[in-house]
Structure 1
């Protein structure tokens, strides 16, 4: 089954119909074309809009102080992310007689029958040798091909289909070798969902969905579905997913899934799926972000956790889109310069969505120019606005985060889970070191630790890793407030091993229930 992608204005852009008075963040791109009310951006400089000034000011991102917005004389400078949350979200003969017998002639002359001539016998011997050699060489090269399927430069040659068998298949899967992945999930009463998006061997964009109801703990994976986005994906390009609550024209708000990826021309593209109500029948629709023309670094990756989405601009600086602002498609420069090809990760460091969205309780991970993984809680960097509990988090992370230095471009990801009935969270960083995936984690107030879980060993070199951080949202006309969930049956991560997609589930600080997700 294929989802047609329709050009649609659903979902509505975030914060439709509201105004965040005084919130005027500093956008990263420079103004390139202005046509009517449409602005096309390019990278390089930042456009700063002054409230009531009637014009734009150009500044260069040179220091953390440049993160403030330009103001008219006498105004107080406004810093990005300094806002509030109101719950509005949007996003492949021999000659035969009729009886089938070979004709054998017999004559009285002295000629040998054709099948006893030395030349013929020699030919048979040669033919037999050729067949044997072909079989042997075929086995050798076939084995090498299978063994190489886990290398970053290899890809599956299987035929892409849109169906999945219920049991694991011994044939190669259609997922591309070291495919990028977008992973997301949520628990809402008896409604439990997991989504994994990936790139197929034919470069198409596909996703699989798993559901479980009530007390059921075993998720049932549906048939993979192929999407037809507006633009093709870049090869092994960045991809991410996030979950929010859509404020559309339905009587009830709906849970919405956002799938973002980098297309073949290095622009951010997206698809959105409103999972209920009138809009559900539309399937995945083209996101408004396609019209914004966000150009990213050639090797940029993506990471998202609502309301944030990270990417690298062409200068290597990590940028964030913040969907809770009045200008949700204006990027903010963070004080983080990542190495080219660095992976990115964003996680919450509180279970409360208000703190996550507007008070600095979020963190990012990236590699610096030396290959060291950097962990940065409150990446907007406002010491004077930090609450005491955030100050403690920042201090603990800065003093205890381990020195993890890897080849630049090594795979890693991160996720968070609630620690209990307080606002504290447990955060896990999974990273590939050789063929094994290791983890660093913090689940108490004493600091970070490192381990090498058995079920994370033997992954394909260069595999992408995707993990689920449960969705959060604020109460609205339909939903009660959703706090970050504790460890549960959706606490899962995904990676490739032997070319296949593997799922594991977190239990404490270890991993259990390793299984193959069948993608024929």
Structure 2
């Protein structure tokens, strides 16, 4: 391991005199160092002081200098020591006065050089100590720091807190009896993926669980869902090479396992910059040609993910999204069972919020009145909530996005009369991601019906750097928790 440079041996632009040069002895009679009125007394090496803070004379040092480590006396009595003063100096004659001024000039030049060298050494040590202090405080400054879109910011980040403009996802399920549990996922300033658990019966968020062993790229999408059979959380991300990766872990487990999408499939990469969304058994992302790609877990077949197009509502009409559009996927039927009718919300190539259904013969029941068809900004995040509609096999759907004024807006369909809105949800940080909670249902454990209850209508986005929760009451969005991220 290479050692740091020794600034005592080398200082850019300055060179120390070789050891064979004459050694300078500081004497009380020499007007050096120069004192400035109002500053602290200027010390000699042996702790004496020539001038005081107000600029007047002070007491001389107990000895006058050193040669090879030995104390030496001046060759003649000093003016201060003899008590002669300025007059004695004047009587010394012009030759002595000329020598004195030459010596003063030499000493002043040496002082400037020594002061610069010492200042450089002290400054280097001070800078090093400052860097260590920044590390110990949990903050680092790096030119490679990135925002949520992977762009370089050069700003300091708190490595234990939430990453600015992190991607977000949330998933949850109903509990036996009453209540629900959910998990929110985000990326920290150190780029480690984190998750906190919420249980409605306790009403509090857990301390974050940190997955420090993952090679998650800065700003990676983090789609997450639940496989209810166990139950088991499924989390997906991109590594530093944009390779698709997955982990899973049980309800109370803290150590994730590699998911079968890695072990049973050849490695594959995702187009850089695409957003992703997941709702069991689907993971949706965008292809380089702007079509949407669907990974499906075939639980009734081979038991692993496949990437075939079979099962789209109309295989001849696969939607085209705007480049790097936001994506949300939710159920479109209340009785959610194979072939799992679902749909995606996205920005189309005309810049409008659109929806597209897929999955089975009953696809499109809740979305058969067309798309919201309103203009939304490019690359804005999109998230959605689905809740069972009373007296119907349809769902009520709320789709959230961020407008050009950085406000979160919502369009919704809560009856058979089509899409409504926009409705303002709240202020947010520019470029924030958005995640919304939809209850996970699946027919394997006979949890088929999407509930009509509204207590899980919750969304998350960043505001003033923190992750803010918003809850939808009967008709109004209200502030929920500010999520603890440390």
TM-score (norm 1): 0.60
CA contact (8 A) 1:472 1:483 kept: yes
| Counterpart in the other structure of 1:473 | 442
Q: 1:329 aligns with which of 299, 302, 305?
A: 305
* TM superposition shift of 1:392: 4.8
* TM superposition shift of 1:421: 5.3
Distance 1:473 1:412 in 2: 24
| Counterpart in the other structure of 2:380 | 410
* TM superposition shift of 1:243: 1.1
CA contact (8 A) 2:148 2:163 kept: no
Task: Map 1:118-157 to 2 at 5 A.
Answer: 154=153, 157=156
* TM superposition shift of 1:285: 1.1
Task: Map 1:105-504 to 2 at 5 A.
Answer: 105=58, 154=153, 157-161=156-160, 174-189=161-176, 190=178, 192-213=180-201, 219-230=203-214, 232-246=215-229, 254-275=230-251, 280=253, 283-291=255-263, 292=265, 293-324=267-298, 325-327=300-302, 328-333=304-309, 335-354=318-337, 357-358=338-339, 361-378=341-358, 386-387=361-362, 390=363, 392-396=365-369, 398=370, 401-420=371-390, 422-434=392-404, 435-453=406-424, 456-474=425-443, 476=445, 480-504=446-470
Distance 2:186 2:155 in 1: 14
Is the alpha carbon distance of 1:509 and 1:265 closer, same or farther for their aligned partners in structure 2, counting shifts above 3 Å?
A: farther
- Classify the secondary structure of the residue corresponding to 1:239: coil
Cα RMSD of the aligned pairs, angstroms, is 3.0
* TM superposition shift of 1:417: 0.9
Query: Which blocks of at least 5 consecutive residues in structure 1 are unaligned?
Result: 1-92, 112-148, 162-173, 247-253
Is the alpha carbon distance of 1:442 and 1:96 closer, same or farther for their aligned partners in structure 2, counting shifts above 3 Å?
A: farther
Distance 1:377 1:344 in 2: 13
* TM superposition shift of 1:351: 1.8
Is the alpha carbon distance of 1:394 and 1:501 closer, same or farther for their aligned partners in structure 2, counting shifts above 3 Å?
A: closer
Is the alpha carbon distance of 1:295 and 1:489 closer, same or farther for their aligned partners in structure 2, counting shifts above 3 Å?
A: same
Distance 2:154 2:334 in 1: 39
Report which structure shows greater RCO (CA 8 Å, sep ≥6): 1
Is the alpha carbon distance of 1:295 and 1:424 closer, same or farther for their aligned partners in structure 2, counting shifts above 3 Å?
A: same
| Counterpart in the other structure of 1:507 | 473
* TM superposition shift of 1:150: 9.4
Query: Which blocks of at least 5 consecutive residues in structure 2 are unaligned?
Result: 1-39, 53-57, 60-79, 88-145, 313-317
- Classify the secondary structure of the residue corresponding to 2:200: strand
Could you list the per-position Cα deviations for residues 213-239 of structure 1 after superposition, in whole angstroms to 9, with x for gaps in the alignment? 2xx5xx211111210344x22222222
* TM superposition shift of 1:307: 1.3
CA contact (8 A) 2:157 2:163 kept: no
CA contact (8 A) 1:258 1:270 kept: yes
Is the alpha carbon distance of 1:273 and 1:364 closer, same or farther for their aligned partners in structure 2, counting shifts above 3 Å?
A: same
CA contact (8 A) 1:233 1:261 kept: yes
TM-score (norm 2): 0.64
CA contact (8 A) 2:352 2:373 kept: yes
Distance 2:208 2:155 in 1: 17
| Counterpart in the other structure of 1:3 | none
Distance 2:415 2:235 in 1: 33
